[in-house]
A and B are shown apart, each in its own frame.
Chain A
Amino acid sequence: MKDFLNSWGLSLAVFLPLMGALVMFVVPKAREQFHKTVALGTSLVVAFVGILLFANFDYDATGTMQFVVDKSWIPIINSRYIVGMDGISLPLIALTILVVPLCIIYSWNHFPEPRNPKAFLILILILQTGMMGSFVAQDLILFFVFFEVVLLPMYFMIGVWGGEKRQYASLKFFLYTLFGSALMIVSFMTLYFLSDQINVDGTMMHTFDMRLLPELATGISAGAALWIFGGMFMGFGIKVPMFPFHTWLPDAHTQAPTVGSVILAAVLLKLGTYGFIRIAIPILPEAAETWAPFIGVLAVVGIIYGALCCLAQTDMKRLIAFSSVSHMGFVMLGIATLTDFGLNAAVFGMVAHGLITGMLFFIAGSTKDRFHTLDIARLGGMLKQMPHMGWILGFSVMASLGLPGLAGFWGEFPAILSAYNPGGDLNVAFFRVLMVVAAIGTVLAAAYLLWLYQRVAFGVPKAEFEDDPHIHDVSFTEWVAWTPMLVLILVLGVFPNLIFRVTDGAVANVLSAIPGHGG
């Protein structure tokens, strides 16, 4: 078993969804039940493989890559098929294998117009391959390929199943991200050429191996390293998205179908922050130190700015989208501190944000299904009309505003804490200012979320919806899709060690080249 997992586990988890998609591809689209079953079945098998992997993971060596497979792929440029999982990828893989089946379950009975479950589900499965691949790839080119694989399905998902302005939104999403990718791949290339060579079967070659590059890149001049980091910063920063490169996000989210929004918020955004932690910082630690204050500033500006924009929104979904900008600001602040506290907080924050904001998008989607609008001014009295939904929204809102005891807190508080004492030679006073500004963000978060809750859930239903027969409380598929997320939000909030224990050893590796990163 262990041997099988070691050689095939990760690859299975990555490519099984693609297999499922291929099977569905050849079956006519009229057989909807078949497609739904295959899609769900595939995602559940992936989840099962994932759980097997987690069960066999060595939690005493979270800093080491495990289940590593290293095979020749493109020998001419010495790019290899290397996959592996450590304590940083594990929580994100867990998030992915959880969210995808839940999204399929949620879609079960209400596919967005123009329906076509076959195409919709195939896209979700391809997405999953891309996401899983990005989190396990240990070769820059392989990573890049998976990173880009994610783009197309999401593009089509927004462009075909989206709202009224889907054309504009999907294109903006696609182009903006690609723009960043272009700079990122140039950075990867430069890194490849400027880093030291290794001996491959007797010939000296450059390498894309992410495990070796931290060592090999030490010879790169400081100036070049800065530019390379800059290219990666654009690629990852747009994906996060960091202020001021976030404007694709509200449009994409507002227009995307519910499930698209959920996957986008829950997993796709994390590719950016993951990239910083997995690639940019360990390979170019000195450049990271130079960039960190800049990233820190953009992070807290994003926190405040995103929150202020939330306060101005009249559309529930757009408000939640802007809240992502604010919340990802906390994640980036944690990363910018270059401390193990900060990075732990960042990984936790990614998972927590994925669950909580995913939940919020689910609720927004279900609200839209029933009211056919997300105009906050027209909503109201949810607690009266749909008490369960109202409570779930309340719970999610509380989690989102970082209530201690729920998951959101553990992304936020340690990030603020870590800014008190940044790592490396970062300016302490400067980061303490960032800490205070970030703390102000927690007040604003409470303000926009509770204000939203007041307008949507409290009060009495508006006259136009008072007797609307379409408005019913949480349905069965919704319960099935949501319960795991709600439970996890609570469980992770109470037992944060479920994640911190996994990440702690691994982030120490990321920061090994940064002096004084501890505490």
Chain B
Amino acid sequence: MPELLDKVWIVPAIMALSFLIILFFGKRAGTRATAGIGIAAVSLCLLFSVVVAGQWINRVNNPPTGEKLAQDIVKANGLTPQNAEDVEAEANAATHDSGETAATASGTPTVTPIALELASTGAESAAGATASEEHGSGEHGSVPPVVRTVTWFQMGGISFEAGTLVDGLTAMMLITVCIISLLVHIYSTEYLRGDIRYTHYYAFLSLFTASMLFYVMSSNTLQMLVGWELVGVCSFGLIGHWWEEKKNSDAALKAFLTNRVGDMGLIIGVAITFFAAGANSFNVLHINEYALSGAANTTLLLVGGLCLFGGVTSKSGQFPLHTWLPDAMAGPTPVSALIHAATMVVAGVYLIARLYGVFFAGLGIGSSSLHYVAFIGGFTTIIGGLLAFVQTDLKKVLAYSTISQLGYMVMALGVGAWTAGVFHLFTHAFFKACLFLGAGSVSHACHHTFDMREMGGLRKKMPITHATFLAATLALAGIFPLAGFWSKDEILAGASSGQESAYTLMLVFGLITAFMTAAYMGRAYWMTFWGNYRGHAKPHESPKVITVPLIILAACAVFLGFTNFPTNFFGLKLPGGFTTRFEHYVEPTFAFPPLQHAEFTPWLAIASTVLAAAGFFLVYQYYAKNRGPHGLTGRSGLARAGYGFLENKYYLDTIYTDGIAGATKGPLARASNWVNQNVLDGVVNGVGTVARVSAGFVYKDIDQLVVDGAVNGSGSVSEGAGQFLRRIQTGKVQQYASILFAGAVVLAGVFVFVI
């Protein structure tokens, strides 16, 4: 098998090709061929991704050493041996990454090839010496990502590069995106059967997959920006898939514009981190290394990190820019599963994970017990979860749940539990995609409605959909031993132990959310699958193309949690080769902060499970047994007010749509236009009028009476010419001449008298 780690660009290229083929030939080729091209392309990508992941695992197991390691380090940072002044810094970084303090290797920056050698030997020995201290298992030291770049453009004499970066995180994302994209491609052949824009739909799916894959393998922030925006465009196109209805195109616009607000932060954040790290490279590893070096300007990193977080806030649906995500459900359901649950919306989380050095150093994640990112993440889990309770639309429940879970991931990264956050990203992608596709299956059976009030009792009519939905629900709620249990638990453990001090508030947020998640998912589950059927369709189980993807995803939701089995689970200690594999292969060891990893915490695992079970139990009592305070909103003003507050989504939409957007495109825009037409243009027209009047005066009263009187005799020729001119211009030549003259006089006067 050839080495694919430095050839991953092929993967998005395949999808891009698929996009072009479908776009230009899809209509002629027909629906079957269109879907076939897409499915074949994604399958191929999945195959490549698996190989890439395998080769990465192999690389971690047999890390490069010596000359090879030095070369890889040089490549990784986009630095060539020619500008070797940086190589010395690389030696620092390499040793630093391997667990030594940066100070030990701070020699004098000499520009010699020897520095390179020093770098390699330094890194090598350091890797060997400290591996056992840094990683208890003693399995590996610093494994630099595989980076391959080409020149993208030059500016200011500096050459900027585009390239691919492959490490465990990239490999994990590749696999996740490809699996879910493939299943969605297959599922859509049935779900979108007979759709008016079948070809466009598949074209966009391909383009989205290409962009997303491109994004996760970017080696620099600028390239990430490209991928980031491209997935946004695909999201726009797919949310507005049925654009005949204004509601749908409104949702598409809202999604794009809300994201643009966040992108403002992203653009500025990219600029700040670029300049902070020496203004010569956008390379993410370079920026991370700078951020983690002792010399970093932490204020700048704080500002840069917060700006970047602006982008995260919109893309990953964090408070207060989460409002677009529920509306995005206007798109076809498979799209919601792929883009608005599993992949695109985690782009923000991925951004934090990728530029972790910036966030870690800027926000002081290691030393703090509360900061903006962790707080917003935690806060988002709560506000998203609360809103999920008042939805009657099944997809909206899932959308708010996604917001809440994205908050979980951001919170995890915020408290320093990097692996936990990324692990949750991984598991969540599968069970949430399963839930969305399950919802699609239900809707497919029930006349395309998502209103849970018109469902009920579907568990017998759709046994496979029901079983998979249940598995994914339990996984999401974090019930042992499903996937969500492990990832959620790691986050809680991470919050409770923190780095230097515990993130207590985040822990509380996390526990409350554990309870809420179980409760609102229980509610949705019962309303959909239990009781009596309340709709008017004749529900039936969906065909295999729909159920098989569901089964695969459900299986993932059940088993994927074991990929990061704790080292000590209630005293159960499996051999090293079976525990924390996810952490071992995915967590970076290069240009990455030294993190404390929280141990499995039995009491937290028990507490969160009990809370989740309680959530299910209460909802079961309320909906299935009809106990509890039904009709509370009718009796209590307070409850009514609270319910109204939630129903109106905290009035954020009102503020944004009517307040900010309305004011901008209404009064503010009209005022600008008024100023333009009346003030600025008024001046121009005024000058023109004055010029014409004075020209008329000059002509009539001076030229005709005084001058012309003198030359009247010789006027016949010029009169002819004048007539000609007047025919073209009717008096406008004077105007032009006088303005020209006036302007020249004014400036000439200035030159004569002032200078």
**Chain A interface residues toward B at CB < 8 A:** 171-172, 174-176, 178-179, 181-183, 185-187, 190, 221, 223-224, 227, 231, 244, 246-248, 250, 305, 308-313, 339-341, 344, 381, 383-384, 398, 403-405, 409, 413-414, 416-417, 420-421, 435-436, 439-440, 442-444, 446-447, 450-451, 454, 457-460, 495-497, 500-501, 504, 508, 518-519
Contact = CB atoms under 8 A, between A and B. Distances in A.
Contact of B684 (A176, A186, A404): A176
A458 B249 contact: yes
Given A178-B736, A459-B244, A500 B155 contact: yes
Nearest to B158: A519
Contact of B743 (A179, A250, A414, A446): A179
12 contacts: A178-B736, A183-B747, A187-B747, A224-B755, A248-B684, A309-B672, A383-B243, A384-B244, A404-B225, A413-B225, A454-B253, A504-B157
B226 interface: yes
Contact of A459 (B243, B270, B755): B243
B665 interface: yes
Contact of B665 (A183, A311, A420): A311
Nearest to A226: B755
Given A504-B155, A508-B156, 18 more contacts: A174-B736, A182-B739, A224-B751, A227-B750, A231-B747, A244-B680, A247-B676, A248-B684, A417-B270, A440-B264, A442-B267, A458-B240, A458-B249, A460-B244, A495-B153, A501-B153, A504-B157, A518-B157
Contacts of A244: 680
Contacts of B735: 171, 175
A417 B243 contact: no
A309 B664 contact: no
Nearest to B196: A384
Interface residues of B, number: 66
B744 interface: yes
B190 interface: no
B268 A308 contact: no
A404 B156 CA distance: 20
B253 A436 contact: no
B718 interface: no
Contacts, number: 184
Given A182-B740, A312-B673, A175 B233 contact: no
B732 interface: yes
Contact of A439 (B155, B267, B274, B736): B267
B279 A403 contact: no
Interface string B215-253: 000000010011011100100100010011010011001
B747 A186 contact: yes
B260 interface: yes
B17 to A, nearest CB: 14
Contacts of B263: 442-443
A344 B751 contact: no
B156 A497 contact: no
* Overall SS of chain A's interface: helix
Interface in B297-313: none
B274 A454 contact: no
A416 B671 CA distance: 27
A330 to B, nearest CB: 12
Nearest to A186: B747
B264 A443 contact: yes
B638 interface: no
Residue among A174, A179, A250 with max Cβ neighbours from chain B (10 Å): A179
Q: A308, A340, A413 — which one has the most chain B CB atoms within 10 A of its CB?
A: A308
A450 B243 CA distance: 13
A140 to B, nearest CB: 16
Nearest to B691: A175
A178 B668 contact: no
Contacts of A305: 672, 676
Nearest to B211: A405
B574 interface: no
Contacts of A186: 744, 747-748, 751
B755 A223 contact: yes
A355 B249 CA distance: 27
B448 interface: no
A68 B318 CA distance: 58
A398 B275 CA distance: 28
Contacts of B732: 171
Contact of B669 (A308, A383, A504): A308
A450 B271 contact: no
A253 to B, nearest CB: 14
Nearest to B226: A404
B249 A454 contact: yes
Contacts of A384: 244
A504 B154 contact: yes
B350 to A, nearest CB: 17
Contacts of B736: 174-175, 178
Given A179-B743, A312-B670, A497-B151, A404 B229 contact: yes
Given A344-B156, A435-B268, A460-B244, A247 B680 contact: yes
Nearest to B268: A439
B272 interface: yes
Q: B225, B256, B261, B669: which has the most chain A beta carbons within 10 Å?
A: B669
Given A179-B740, A459-B243, A504-B157, A446 B260 contact: yes
